[in-house]
C-alpha cells in the first residue's frame, strides 16, 4: 500500500490506550484550560485521526510563515496549510506548560486534547496578511476562509498534542467518520491496492457519480473512496447528515457492489482552493489512496481562484516531488443531450452550452424548495427527493 506522507508509518496523535487516556483526563482537570476555535479543534481531530501525519502538533510562527512562502516547514517537510492553534490571549500560560484544550463544538466544552506548549508567539498584522494571501489567494474578508483566519486571534500556541477523542464526529456520524488507519484497514480487507478518492462537501449529482466511474475505469482502480467533509461549512451549504444520507442512497442504488467506500473526516472547510487541494491530497495519501480526483474549482468559493488552478498547483516541481499520490485531472462534467450520457466537457468540443443540462446551485435550491423535480439527467430521483425534503423543511 502507498506509504503515508513524509514517513513510512502513520503517526496518529490519538491516545488509544484506555488507561493512559483516563490518566490524561484526570491530569487535564488540574491543568489550565482554554476553549479553542473550531479550526484548532478540527486540526486536533485530524492530528488524532492520522490525516495530518507526520505532524505531532500545532505549528509555530516560523513554520507558518515558511509554509505560506514555500509550502514547507522550516525542517523541509512539504506542507501546504499551517496547522495552527490561534487564540486571542494566553493569560497565565508560559512555555513548557501543558494545557487542556476545550472543545468549542460540544455543549459543556469537554477536553478534546492536552497540548504541551513549546512556544507562545504573536502574529503581527503583516504576518496575518502574508499568510492569508498565500493560503487563500486573498485578504478579502468576504472570503469565508480569510474572515475566519483573520478573526482567530494573534497569539500562536505551538507544540505537540495528545488527542483524547474525535469531538462530535464519532458521535454524530458513527457509521461515516473514519480515521486514516481505519480506511487503510478497510482497503486491505477488501483487497484494494489502487484506490481513487473523491472529495466532496456537497451532495453528489449525476455528474459527480459518473466522474467517479470514469476515473475508476480510466485508472483501472480497485475501488473508489467517496470521502466527505463532516465539519463546518459556509452559510448555505448542505449539512453533513443530509449529504451523508443522499450519497449513501446513490451508492446503494447506482454503483456496483464493493466498488465504493463511503467515509467522512472531521475537518472544517477552508475554501482555500489550490492550497486546500494539496492538503486534500495529503489526507488521502495518508488514508491509503493512490489517486485523487481534482476537478473544476476544487475547494473553491466565488471567483477567488481560476477554474483549474487547483490542478496546476500539482504540476509544480515541489508538489510532484513531495507527494506520492497521483491526480486524476477532471474537467467540468455534465449530461450531454446530444450523446445521451454524462461527459467531461473537454471531450465534447463540438457542443454548445445548450447541448448540456446545466443548473446553477441557486436554481437547484429554488426548484427543490418549490417542490419541483430536478431533471433525472442532472440528479438521481432518490437523491433529489432527500434534498427536496431538506429544502422544504
The span from the CA of 393 to the CA of 55, in Å, is: 42
**How far from 337 is each of 345, 347, 367, 368, 382, CA to CA, in Å?**
12, 14, 21, 22, 22
- Our measurement of the distance from residue 182's CA atom to the centroid of its chain's CA atoms, rounded to an integer in Å, reads 17
The span from the CA of 292 to the CA of 300, in Å, is: 16
> Burial of 361 by CB count in 10 Å (0-12 exposed, 13-18 middle, 19+ buried)?
exposed
Q: Supply φ then ψ for residue 129, to 5 degrees.
A: -65, -40
- Our measurement of the distance from residue 34's CA atom to the centroid of its chain's CA atoms, rounded to an integer in Å, reads 25
Task: Judge whether 157 and 19 are in contact, CB under 8 Å.
Answer: no
Q: In the annotation, is 69 catalytic?
A: no
Active-site position among 61, 201, 275, 284: 201
Task: Judge whether 112 and 41 are in contact, CB under 8 Å.
Answer: yes
Cell of 196: 481513487
- In DSSP terms, 343 is beta-bridged to 334
Closest CA to 202 of 243, 149, 232, 231: 243
The span from the CA of 230 to the CA of 241, in Å, is: 8
The span from the CA of 209 to the CA of 124, in Å, is: 45
Closest CA to 159 of 94, 106, 81, 66: 94
Cell of 55: 505532524
Q: In the annotation, is 201 catalytic?
A: yes
In terms of DSSP bridges, do strands 333-336 and 57-58 run parallel, antiparallel, or are they unpaired?
A: unpaired
The span from the CA of 379 to the CA of 242, in Å, is: 15
The span from the CA of 177 to the CA of 227, in Å, is: 9
Task: Judge whether 198 and 224 are in contact, CB under 8 Å.
Answer: yes
Task: Judge whether 212 and 200 are in contact, CB under 8 Å.
Answer: no
Task: Judge whether 164 and 173 are in contact, CB under 8 Å.
Answer: no
Active-site position among 133, 194, 202, 296: 202
What residues are annotated to the active site? 201-202
Amino acid at each position: 500500500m502507498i506509504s503515508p506522507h513524509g514517513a513510512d508509518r502513520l503517526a496518529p496523535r490519538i491516545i488509544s490506550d484506555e488507561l493512559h487516556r483516563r490518566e490524561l483526563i484526570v491530569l487535564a482537570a488540574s491543568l489550565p484550560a482554554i476553549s479553542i476555535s473550531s479550526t484548532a479543534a478540527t486540526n486536533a481531530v485530524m492530528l488524532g485521526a492520522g490525516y495530518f501525519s507526520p505532524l505531532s502538533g500545532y505549528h509555530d510562527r516560523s513554520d507558518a510563515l515558511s509554509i505560506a512562502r514555500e509550502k514547507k516547514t522550516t525542517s523541509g517537510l512539504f506542507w501546504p496549510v499551517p496547522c495552527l492553534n490561534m487564540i486571542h490571549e494566553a493569560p497565565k500560560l508560559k512555555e513548557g506548560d501543558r494545557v487542556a484544550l476545550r472543545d468549542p463544538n460540544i455543549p459543556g466544552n469537554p477536553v478534546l486534547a492536552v497540548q504541551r506548549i513549546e512556544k507562545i508567539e504573536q502574529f503581527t498584522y503583516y504576518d496575518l496578511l502574508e499568510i492569508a494571501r498565500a493560503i487563500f489567494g486573498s485578504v478579502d474578508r468576504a472570503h469565508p476562509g480569510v474572515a475566519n483566519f483573520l478573526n482567530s486571534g494573534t497569539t500562536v500556541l505551538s507544540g505537540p498534542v495528545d488527542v483524547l477523542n474525535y469531538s462530535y464526529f464519532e458521535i454524530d456520524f458513527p457509521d461515516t467518520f473514519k480515521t486514516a488507519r481505519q480506511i487503510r484497514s478497510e482497503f486491505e480487507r477488501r483487497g484494494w491496492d489502487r484506490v481513487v478518492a473523491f472529495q466532496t462537501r456537497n451532495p453528489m449529482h449525476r455528474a459527480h457519480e459518473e466522474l467517479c466511474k470514469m476515473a475508476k475505469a480510466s485508472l483501472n482502480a480497485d475501488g473508489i473512496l467517496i470521502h466527505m467533509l463532516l465539519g463546518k461549512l459556509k452559510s448555505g451549504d448542505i449539512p453533513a447528515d443530509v449529504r451523508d444520507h443522499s450519497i449513501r442512497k446513490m451508492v446503494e442504488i447506482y454503483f456496483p457492489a464493493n466498488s465504493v467506500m463511503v467515509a467522512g473526516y472531521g475537518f472544517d472547510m477552508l475554501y482555500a482552493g489550490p492550497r486546500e487541494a494539496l492538503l486534500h491530497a495529503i489526507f488521502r495519501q495518508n488514508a491509503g489512496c493512490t489517486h485523487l480526483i481534482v476537478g473544476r474549482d476544487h475547494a473553491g468559493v466565488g471567483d477567488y481562484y481560476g477554474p483549474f488552478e487547483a490542478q496546476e498547483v500539482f504540476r509544480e516541481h515541489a508538489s510532484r516531488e513531495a507527494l506520492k499520490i497521483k491526480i486524476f485531472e477532471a474537467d467540468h462534467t455534465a449530461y450531454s443531450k446530444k450523446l445521451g450520457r454524462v461527459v467531461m466537457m473537454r471531450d465534447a468540443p463540438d457542443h454548445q452550452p445548450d447541448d448540456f443540462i446545466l443548473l446553477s446551485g441557486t436554481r437547484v435550491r429554488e426548484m427543490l424548495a418549490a417542490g419541483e423535480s430536478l431533471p433525472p439527467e442532472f440528479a438521481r430521483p432518490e437523491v433529489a427527493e432527500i434534498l427536496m425534503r431538506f429544502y422544504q423543511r
